Amino acid sequence: MFETWQSCAVERFDALKIDRERLLNSVDLVAGAIGQEWIDEQTERRERTGSTISDAHPLYRDLTSASDTSLVAVCELAEYLRSFLYDPALPEIIKDLRSEKYESTFFELAMAYRWQAADAEVRLQPSTPKGTADFEATIHGLGFVVEVSIFPADIFRDLRFRISSLITKIVGSTVNKEFPVAIHLQIRDVMPGDFEGAVRAEIREACLALIHNLRKGDNTVLSREAAFGTIQVEQITESTETIRPTRGHFSATSDPGARHWDVCFRAVSKRVPHGVPVYRAMDDEAEEEHVRVFVNFPRSEVDPYDRIVKKIKKEARQLRGIESARVVVLDVAGIAYDALDLHMDHLRDELVKLMKATPELACVWLMSRGWSTELRYQYRGVYIANAESVYQLPTSFLQSLMVREWRWDFLGSREIPVLTEEEALLERQRRSRQRGPD
């Protein structure tokens, strides 16, 4: 069932600096906890006609993928489940992991694990006057009830990811039978209703029209207006716009002044020699390009900082009626790639106002999860203490949290070496290319 994951684990355990048996046992532990019935349901869903990676449950994707991020995510989840094996709330936690609550439940476990590792006594999902909190932590005899929440950040379900696979499938069933094509899509309005269906229909018509034109000897570029925006389709030639990253955006290599794109994507096929795992095809430089996609979305008028404040207020309300100290932890990765990049002046003022009105609220923590040069997921955060509260997290506890996050690799059971940025990047490159034990 998990042959691809296990095969990749055997090749990558040494580069990832995770004990081989520990890594392999992780997939068995997680699969056993989740249950074969759920796994079979997900497999059946994947095999349905029209199903894409975007439709798969994120845990199922990690269990069946061959990537460092998937190996580490499954190993991480196994560690959390092992750590809370005897917590009475674990059956409900596992139920949530199978559901649409997966992202938020994973974050709940990640935070609870870290607090426990920093010497807090942790109990999952304690009862509260409003229902159930995420966990309760006792530190030096003082109890803190913690509510954690997220802005969903599953890239595979985001329209910005889905639209690339959607366009690729349409192109594959039409134009790619004859030639590779580039699609430029300028979206003015993400309309209500079946927006993706409308995009599919318009892209298909544009591709068929381009084929018709080329057969008549007409232009290799075709533009088409749709209700949601403008579509340009062209046969890929040497003059076709190519893809180059430029500080978080994308532009054309041929013209430094070209427009920036929200999404750039290339679909290529690679040769897979007999007996070689599919994921090893990435090592082969030879490829055949099928489609190049460029998409711009309408600019959002929603203030992300207002969204953060409203979310914090909502989570704080969940803790009303609790007599002990309260803490709110929010993963903002769905809004800000890195919590440390947030412009905190206005945001801090709004959160301070909220905390002044809630003296039981000890602090607010804004977090983001990112992939580090150590080939691990790490959390970065902005900690905002409530100066009006008699409840404060102990300094020793905060220091322990920080040290364990940045200096201790709990999956490899080792200290993280202190390297310069250049040294860390070079080491990541070396380990990323490494195959099998040295």
Q: What is the 3 state secondary structure string of 247-281?
A: CCEEECCCCCCCCCECEEEEEEECCCCCCCCHHHH
- CA-based nearest residue to 296, from 230, 220, 241, 200: 230
Distances in Å between the Cα of 420 and the Cα atoms of 119, 417, 425, 426, 427 are 30, 10, 9, 10, 10
pLDDT of 255 reads 47
pLDDT of 262 reads 84
pLDDT of 248 reads 42
Cα distance between residue 133 and residue 325, in whole Å: 13
- Which run of H or E residues covers position 121? strand 121-124
- CA-based nearest residue to 268, from 337, 358, 369, 168: 168
Terminal C-alpha separation, the chain: 28
Contact 56, 44 (CB under 8 A): no
Residues in CB range of 117: below 8 A, 6 or more apart: 404, 410
Q: Which stretches of the chain drop beneath a pLDDT of 70?
A: 49-54, 153-157, 176-177, 244-259, 274-285, 300-302, 436-438
pLDDT of 46 reads 78
pLDDT of 151 reads 87
pLDDT of 153 reads 65
**pLDDT (tens digit, 9 = 90+) per residue, 252-286?**
444 444 568 888 888 888 777 766 666 665 566 67
Hey, what are 202's tokens?
A: 């318009």
Strand, helix or coil at 308? helix
**pLDDT (tens digit, 9 = 90+) per residue, 118-128?**
999 999 999 98
pLDDT of 283 reads 61
Q: Are strands 135-139 and 142-150 parallel, antiparallel or unpaired?
A: antiparallel
pLDDT of 40 reads 92
Task: Give the distance between the most distant pair of CA atoms in the chain.
Answer: 81
